């Protein structure tokens, strides 16, 4: 985050929203550098955990670890950077709902980004796509019987 962007985001809610999204993209890029073998869902979960750590969450808590995967699942079938953008907007929604209501473009972008994943869920095709994009996470969480 540049100095002037940081200052602007303190006083401008829309700029704050944009900075939250940019931060998730940057965190996810860094995570990919350190963990090149991670699949998309693992990268998203690590990005989510990084934000929670900055908020004081106990990353050793099993509930926090589970939440990282639960809250990022919908975005895990999106390509980067859309996956990170959707996660950033999710954080805006959860942490600053006033920004979402004040600047509908964030909500509109979220709907656009997650539309394919939601369609896959409705058609019961999500897990097939999920498995192909996230094979490591799939093998760790789901059995072949599902």
Distance, CA of 32 to CA of 26 (rounded, Å):
10
pLDDT higher than threshold 90 for residue 146: no
Q: What's the pTM?
A: 0.89
Mean pLDDT of 91-101: 97
Distance, CA of 59 to CA of 75 (rounded, Å):
21
pLDDT higher than threshold 70 for residue 116: yes
pLDDT higher than threshold 90 for residue 48: yes
Q: How many CA atoms lie within 13 A of 4 on its CB side?
A: 0
Reference 43, options 51, 33, 52, 31; nearest CA is 31
Mean pLDDT for all residues in the chain = 92
Report pLDDT for 5. Answer: 57
Residues 60-83 pLDDT 10s: 999 999 999 999 999 999 999 999
Q: Check residues 129 and 142 and name the one with the higher pLDDT.
A: 129
């Amino acid at each position: 985050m540049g100095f002037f962007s940081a200052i602007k985001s303190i006083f401008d809610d829309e700029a704050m929203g944009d900075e939250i999204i940019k931060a998730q993209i940057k965190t996810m890029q860094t995570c990919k550098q350190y963990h090149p073998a991670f699949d998309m869902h693992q990268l998203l979960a690590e990005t989510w955990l990084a934000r929670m750590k900055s908020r004081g969450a106990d990353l050793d808590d099993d509930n926090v670890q589970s939440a990282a995967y639960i809250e990022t699942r919908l975005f895990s079938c999106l390509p980067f950077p859309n996956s990170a953008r959707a996660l950033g907007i999710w954080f805006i929604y959860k942490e600053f709902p006033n920004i979402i209501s004040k600047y509908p473009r964030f909500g509109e972008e979220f709907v656009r980004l997650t539309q394919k994943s939601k369609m896959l869920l409705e058609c019961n095709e999500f897990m097939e796509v999920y498995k192909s994009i996230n094979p490591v996470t799939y093998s760790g969480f789901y059995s072949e019987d599902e």
